[in-house]
Structure 1
Amino acid sequence: MKNTILITNKIKLFTCWLVVNLGGIVHSLAQDKYYGIMPVSEEKVVYEEVVLVDSSSQVNLRKKAKIWFIDSYKSSKDVISLDEDDEIIGKGFFKTIMQGGFMNSYPVDVQHTISVQFKDGRYRYKISNIQLNYQVVITQNTPPRDVSVPLEKWVNGSQKNVEKRFLIKLDEQIKLIIDSLKTGMKKTEKKDW
């Protein structure tokens, strides 16, 4: 009886060890796919953070986020898809250039979802669902081909140098959006105008 309990406990312990280590390996492989450049959550690129803001109410944080959306995008009405008391979700995009091989470069529209959630004294932003839209010219005699692909499918390891350069550039541009949001959320209201 004691041997059976001992063996059962060892099996449980080994199973726990296996689950923990396999989880780490899966996370490591997902991170390696993006060369350690971009944050990954559940095999998707996701930038998110909870930011503590002293003595700011949920209402005040929401107001600051709304102003940030208005100031940051040409048409906030076209960008904002959800506008609730505790969350604003927008679908934005920015333009960048992808440097391909042989001195090729492609203008790329990068679409993304950005959500900002609010609670008293803190907010959480999340940038996800990154979609790349660009045109590829195969030969001079064929018309350009439109490509629209989620970032997670675009990164496949077939052109590592191109992927790395582009991911670094993309990461920098997304961090500029995050910095802009954080600056907007720190602004104090002008009471006397």
Structure 2
Amino acid sequence: MRIKLSFKYLIFLLVISFSIPALGQNYELPIDETGKVVFTDVIPLEEMSKVDIYKKAKMWIVSTLKSGDNMVELDGTNSDKIIGTGNIIIPEEEIFSSHHESLNFKFIVMCKDNRLKYSVENFTLHLTMFNYNSVTSIEAIRDYKGTIGKKRQIQFESEVKAAVKKNIELLVNEFVIHMNKTENDDW
């Protein structure tokens, strides 16, 4: 009896330790005025012309955003807007119920002298769970049913938001570092 009680207690502690971090964290994503998830900011780039900012941003987008459609649109009257399509493969351990996830998105850069504005938006999440494939927008993740039960829905939503936030923030940080790095062409 004592052994069974200790084993049940150990199982209870394990279940609680895995549940609390996911439920206790608040991984809210940035929402714009239309209700869409959008990561956006303005980056000051002192003493850089719009043309130089455009070239540097285009080089980063072309070399970093590698997706199935590998699409980069160049827009604007004087080359001041770039729209890249990208995807990120999310590691399995970041979303427990799923075993293959990819996050597709648009990475938009608008250039002006001495600054740029980026926007990461139009997210779709491709999931494979128990041989069931599905696609959903990040905004609709709260209503996602898939093959998980009601009890698991809250944890699933938290895991998806955490994975999106982590991976997009890493991507944006890499972009900001690249844009602020001074390049020495004298090799």
Pairing of 1:7-26 with structure 2 (within 5 A): none
Paired position in structure 2 for 1:45: 37
User: SS at the partner of 1:45?
Assistant: coil
- Partner of residue 59, structure 2: 67
1:6: which partner in 2?
A: none
If the length of structure 1 is used for normalisation, what is the TM-score? 0.70
Partner of 1:184: 178
Letter of the structure 1 residue corresponding to residue 183 of structure 2: E
Larger Rg over CA atoms: 1
* Offset at residue 37 of structure 1 (A): 1.7
Change (3 A) 1:127 1:182: same
Aligned partner letter, 1:117: M
Q: Which amino acid aligns with 1:190?
A: N
Q: 1:117 to 1:131 in 2, by over 3 A?
A: same
Count how many residue pairs are aligned between Structure 1 and Structure 2: 150
Q: 1:96-153: CA deviations, max 9, x gaps? A: 13534xxx3321110000100100010000000000112232xxxxxx3320111111
In the alignment, the residues of structure 1 paired with residue 74 and residue 87 of structure 2 have an alpha-carbon distance, to the nearest angstrom, of 16
Match of 1:78 in 2: 70
Paired with 1:178 and 1:99, the residues of 2 have a C-alpha distance of 21
Give the AA of the match of 1:37. E
State the distance in 2 between where 1:179 and 1:79 align.
22
Deviations 1:9-63 (A, max 9, x none): xxxxxxxxxxxxxxxxxxxxxxxxxx56210012110000011111110011011
Contact kept, 8 Å, 1:70 with 1:76, in 2: the verdict is no
- Quick one: which amino acid aligns to residue 28 of structure 2? I
Question: 2:123 — aligned with what?
Answer: 130
Q: 2:95 aligns with which of 99, 103, 112?
A: 99
Q: 1:120 to 1:38 in 2, by over 3 A?
A: same
1:146: which partner in 2?
Answer: 133
Change (3 A) 1:76 1:152: closer
Structure 2, unmatched stretches of 5+, are 1-25, 145-149
Question: For structure 1, which segment, 118-127 or 67-76, has the greater mean C-alpha deviation from structure 2 after superposition?
Answer: 67-76
Tell me, yes or no, if the aligned pair for 2:100 and 2:129 is still in contact at 8 Å: no
Q: Which runs of 5+ in 1 are unaligned?
A: 1-34, 138-143
Question: In the alignment, is residue 115 of structure 1 matched against residue 108 of structure 2?
Answer: yes
**Which SS does the other structure have where 1:115 is aligned?**
strand
Q: Residue 140 of structure 1 corresponds to which residue in structure 2?
A: none
**Which residue matches 1:171?**
165
